[in-house]
Amino acid sequence: MSSTLEADAESVLRLVTPSLDLKRHKGQAGKIAVIGGCREYTGAPSFAAISALKIGADLSHVFCTKDAAPVIKSYSPELIVHPVLEESYTISDFSEEEKRQVQEKVVGEVDKWIERFDCLVIGPGLGRDPFLLECVSKIMLLAKKFNVPFVVDGDGLFLVTNSIDLVNSYPLAVLTPNVNEYKRLVQKVLNCEVDEENTGDQLRSLAKQIGGVTILRKGKSDLISNGEIVKSVSIYGSPRRCGGQGDILSGSVAVFLSWAQQLISGHESLSENPAILGCVAASGLLRKAASLAFTKHKRSTLTSDIIGCLGESLEDICPAS
Ligand SMILES: NC(=O)C1=CN([C@@H]2O[C@H](COP(=O)(O)OP(=O)(O)OC[C@H]3O[C@@H](n4cnc5c(N)ncnc54)[C@H](O)[C@@H]3O)[C@@H](O)[C@H]2O)[C@@H](O)CC1
Ligand SMILES: Nc1ncnc2c1ncn2[C@@H]1O[C@H](COP(=O)(O)OP(=O)(O)OP(=O)(O)O)[C@@H](O)[C@H]1O
Ligand SMILES: [Mg+2]
């Protein structure tokens, strides 16, 4: 029997969102880094990174390829953009030794910064280049070494599905699969097809099988599990399915997870799981912002319209003053 409980997303948003305080300095409300952005995709990492700022994080970085960097920078001067990732075509003439040196350099560029980040978002617009993904797997190992939480989305899930050990048993990993990404994860890890009759139980088994990582399965209702409990978020939402909404979600999970971690580390009596709180809060806010954007823009609602509604939606639940 399924025991999926609808989460009270608004209460979670009120719990984890920090109050604005003149005593706090830059960085205390969150430093997020997105690993993503290549020749093909520049929108996805930008949506994730700018959403983090719009919700209230102080700093948002993007680590992307050299081609993607000027484009992402020109979308927004708010983002700190590091053109450090390399795709195979830029090193096609290199020897194995030279390729190894490039990989070391890429990982070294992230290593310089990684301890400063409260959470990474790995995958929006990353692409599927094998050399690039190999570097990103090393970045995941680095994050685990320094206990930095990470959200895996988009092409990061393509990487993880083929190398599940990268996240196995890391409690600070959150996977945010869409319908296709979830199907591939279920097939690979549980060796079966998606069971639409027992969605909660299957999600719980999947999260348990990956050693208790948190999974947010996106869909008509968002379902969240860490292998123990299963929560759903079904409030609000919009009928528009324009691309990029998952990117908003991944950047939002990173911020709320960081805030939940901060909250819990200051209150030993709180026994809640920060990854679950982060997912519930992010899902609730995105769905509210999507609903609001839809009332304003109807069929022409775009991802940028939803990003424009994040602030108003959060303000409605957690007023700034
Ligand atoms: N504006 C943007 O830059 C956006 C970029 N996005 C990025 O696009 C990438 C793919 O995400 P999707 O949500 O489309 O992924 P999906 O896995 O949902 O793929 C969508 C469709 O494309 C096919 N497909 C994907 N990659 C393929 C490949 N290499 N060869 C053959 N078929 C392939 C899938 O089978 C599926 O039918 C991710 O990096 C994602 O972050 C999306 O987030 C949407 C917005
Ligand atoms: N059928 C649906 N009804 C209502 N809301 C939905 C539905 N499908 C997805 N959503 C909402 O949209 C959000 C993004 O999910 P979606 O499946 O579009 O992600 P995605 O495919 O990864 O997006 P992206 O285009 O950014 O890669 C989910 O968190 C969910 O709240
Ligand atoms: Mg996606």
The phi-psi region of residue 134 (left if phi > 0; otherwise alpha if psi is between -120 and 50; otherwise beta) is alpha
pLDDT given at position 2: 58
pLDDT given at position 321: 81
CB of 80 closer than 8 Å to CB of 59: yes
pLDDT given at position 320: 93
Tokens of 114: 């990684």
CB of 36 closer than 8 Å to CB of 311: no
For ligand 2, residues with CB inside 6 Å are: 154, 178-179, 218-220, 222, 237, 241, 243-247, 249, 283, 286-287
Residue 126, ligand 1, Cβ within 6 A: yes
Please give the share of the chain, as a percent, with pLDDT higher than 70: 99
Q: How far is the CA of 107 from the centre of ligand 2 (A)?
A: 31
pLDDT digits (tens, 9 = 90+) for 29-57: 999 999 999 999 999 999 999 999 999 99
Rounded mean pLDDT, 198-217: 98
3-state secondary structure of 228: coil
3-state secondary structure of 85: strand
180 labelled binding-site residue: yes
237 labelled binding-site residue: yes
- Computed over every residue of the chain, the mean pLDDT equals 96
Q: How far is the CA of 116 from the centre of ligand 2 (A)?
A: 30
CA distance 56 to 59: 9
Please give the share of the chain, as a percent, with pLDDT higher than 90: 94
pLDDT digits (tens, 9 = 90+) for 212-222: 999 999 999 99
CA distance 253 to 63: 18
Query: In the CATH hierarchy, which fold is given to the domain comprising 25-287?
Result: UDP-N-acetylmuramoyl-L-alanine:D-glutamate ligase (3.40.1190)
3-state secondary structure of 99: helix
CB of 64 closer than 8 Å to CB of 36: yes
User: Where do the domains of the chain lie?
Assistant: 25-287
Q: How far is the CA of 41 from the centre of ligand 1 (A)?
A: 10
Residue 243 has pLDDT above 60, yes or no: yes
pLDDT digits (tens, 9 = 90+) for 284-293: 999 999 999 9
Q: What is the CA radius of gyration of the chain?
A: 19
Q: What share of the chain is helix, strand, coil (3-state, %, to 5)?
A: 50, 15, 35
pLDDT digits (tens, 9 = 90+) for 157-186: 999 999 999 999 999 999 999 999 999 999
